[in-house]
Amino acid sequence: MRNRTVGINIRVTVTEKKKVTMLARKCGLSLSEYLRQRALGYEPGGHPPMEVFDVLDKLDEIAEQCSVQTGAGINAQTDRMRDLLIGGN
């Protein structure tokens, strides 16, 4: 059952709404959830577009076709890029 029963209304400019909506979309959140998280002190992380991961997967495929040493280097770099994009260590 949903516990959120109280609304908070604020006025913003058209430009401000577009910007906040874009930021919410980048994080994969609804506008309400994005604003809720920001108001409560959370900083939601953004998600790169799926095309970024498609490119990384293609680089992995290329690495499999390379020599062992070259392929290992490519795989290490794509793993590093993937970790940077999704918040890994």
What does the pLDDT look like over 12-67, one tens digit per residue?
A: 999 999 999 988 888 888 999 999 999 999 888 777 777 877 887 888 888 888 88
CA 85 – CA 54 distance, rounded (Å): 13
Q: What is the pLDDT of residue 1?
A: 56
CA 60 – CA 3 distance, rounded (Å): 45
The pLDDT confidence band at residue 86, using thresholds 50, 70 and 90, is: low
Amino acid type, 64: E
